[in-house]
A and B are shown apart, each in its own frame.
Chain A
């Protein structure tokens, strides 16, 4: 199955400030009582976006200026904690197609890549520069260039990092590996045969 080559994503941005934003924050556990991922976008960042009576809190995602943002900016160790794929699924279903943060938790990073969401690492200063530019002009078009590891907006052209395996996977259309894993079956059988605990 041919996958889209994700060489770059472009769109408007929104900055959700903070370090150590965990996957419980991105999607609280009580919204995982579901057997499909459909509809998860609605509950993205729910407890920091909504009061207990359902009214809106002061949060960038509740700000109309950023309502059609597709690129999310945040801080350090984004997506730490629970391995729940519900978190990147909620981000994707809400409309996000790319993330720029200082660093990511390992499992979250892998889950995003598998869904075709590029995760860029940038410096705190560059993220602040981007956030200021978005604040000044929410309609600003940002381009995340996966192949060349650049972030472009206005007259800026910043260096960023996309981990090599993810860059290759995304830009060559190999971010969902099921096809290649399935093709490896003859080799898998050989490895299985050498491991006594795999015996039926």
Chain B
């Protein structure tokens, strides 16, 4: 019988049906970080349970690490206690820890793929909602809570109800200056922040076939912003090429067998989906959020909505968002003054993100009064950017080049907005207070659009600022 990748991976990892009707699912790869795991290790100790498969849990430290003053002890004693606790937990249980001195530390969703830990046909879970990122490799990857981290540590399994699968096709050609970030912001804008509830999203079509692995990761990363707990792309030659030679990838004789196995997990061409949605790539423009959730997005050439012009069911939330964002209803979003520009995060903190921005930053200067920071997603990304001289391009333009971590995506470290500063951000959430100030404002966009905002000091159309694509050629 024809099956989707989701069903094949699920069946290969299903242990049994539990008495509450859920499935006991083996999670082959467990990733942990310092914020959501310490309580789980505490619960394990209270129950006198051991870590069952320590070689299948991998740890790193990302949320709380400072991106400037990185020597320990950290200035923030709470942050310092958290890294020490993770170090202790890993040492005591034999879990691999990509610690700061390892040269491999970084955001957990950047580290997994670059180490070759993230592989097709596997199940992955992490106490972090952006675990959906790993689906880019044809893995089924879930964000989980701390009690489930305990379950995984103790048994390498968790209780879960099977998801439905929605196939999302994006076919056609993207316009120049339109990026993977715009694709996922557009999908969320159209399907809504709760449109994916109960579903895993399978992304496909010519746009995804042509995307690099890093672009696929950007889209899968934000599946959760669309309400889908998991999102994936079927594995193909690009997937295998990316994984070849990585530290945890199979090697030697095992490589060919692994590729054959990985290929077999791809959705059968005639499999049935619970739902199918089609998008035309040509309809997607550089997209920015204007409100307080990622569905509240418009193209950069559109105007901020008005309460009156919004659907009845959306009116209250539109009014709440307009008040919080202090944006004039009905006015163009372009030209909105920005205070802070952030390029980084598990959505857009990979090598190709910095390479793409660097193409346009040469000879440019960040506008006066704008604080611009570039935060590589991992120490490996940082190192490669330095080897290629990219960090100099950013620094010469007036960006601060920082050490690896989650940084201002959620501002658990010292990188925070102050007061009601407005941030142009390549991250994934524009919730109230998300970037560290209870009144701080976030506008999500692609890294190149963030760079354009930094140069102009206001939200700008990167195609105009940098002469990209048809607008510039017209």
Residues of A within 8 A of B (CB): 18-20, 22, 24-25, 28-30, 32-37, 47-48, 52, 76-77, 80-86, 88-89, 103, 105-107, 110-111, 114-115, 164-165, 168-169, 172, 174-178, 180-182, 184-185, 187-188, 191-192, 194-198, 200
Contact = CB atoms under 8 A, between A and B. Distances in A.
Contact of A195 (B12, B20, B38, B292): B12
A196 B253 CA distance: 13
B157 A184 contact: yes
Given A22-B431, A25-B433, A34-B78, 10 more contacts: A18-B316, A35-B82, A36-B42, A106-B229, A168-B21, A177-B24, A181-B24, A182-B49, A184-B24, A187-B15
Contacts of B119: 197
Contact of A178 (B12, B38, B47): B47
Interface in B426-465: 429, 431-434, 436, 438
A24 B431 contact: yes
A181 B154 contact: yes
A172 B20 contact: yes
Contacts of B198: 106
Contacts of A88: 145
B26 A35 contact: no
Given A33-B78, A178-B47, A178-B150, A47 B432 contact: yes
Contacts of A198: 28, 53, 56
Contact of A30 (B12, B53, B122, B411): B411
B7 interface: no
A111 B19 contact: no
Nearest to A112: B145
Interface of B: 12-16, 18-22, 24, 26, 28-29, 35-36, 38-39, 42, 47, 49, 52-53, 55-56, 63-64, 76, 78-79, 81-82, 85, 119, 122, 127-129, 131, 143-148, 150-151, 154-161, 193-194, 197-198, 224, 227, 229, 250, 254, 257-258, 261, 292-293, 316-317, 320, 410-412, 429, 431-434, 436, 438
B318 to A, nearest CB: 11
Contacts of A28: 433, 438
Contacts of B21: 164-165, 168
A76 B193 CA distance: 11
A25 B261 CA distance: 43
A165 B161 contact: yes
Contacts of B194: 76-77, 80, 103, 105
A197 B197 CA distance: 30
Nearest to B14: A191
**What 6 A-B pairs have minimum CB-CB distances, sorted nearest first?**
A85-B145, A111-B145, A33-B78, A47-B438, A35-B38, A83-B143
B16 A187 contact: yes
Given A22-B293, A29-B410, A77 B129 contact: no
Given A20-B193, A198-B53, A174 B316 contact: no
23 contacts: A18-B317, A20-B317, A22-B293, A24-B431, A28-B433, A30-B412, A33-B64, A77-B194, A82-B129, A84-B145, A85-B127, A85-B146, A85-B147, A107-B143, A110-B160, A165-B22, A168-B20, A177-B159, A184-B24, A187-B16, A192-B156, A195-B26, A197-B28
A106 B160 CA distance: 11
A182 B15 contact: no
B55 to A, nearest CB: 5
A200 B434 CA distance: 40
B230 to A, nearest CB: 10
B412 A181 contact: no
A85 B36 CA distance: 8
Contacts of A80: 193-194, 227, 293
B157 A181 contact: yes
Nearest to B64: A33
B411 A29 contact: yes
A115 B28 contact: no
A55 to B, nearest CB: 13
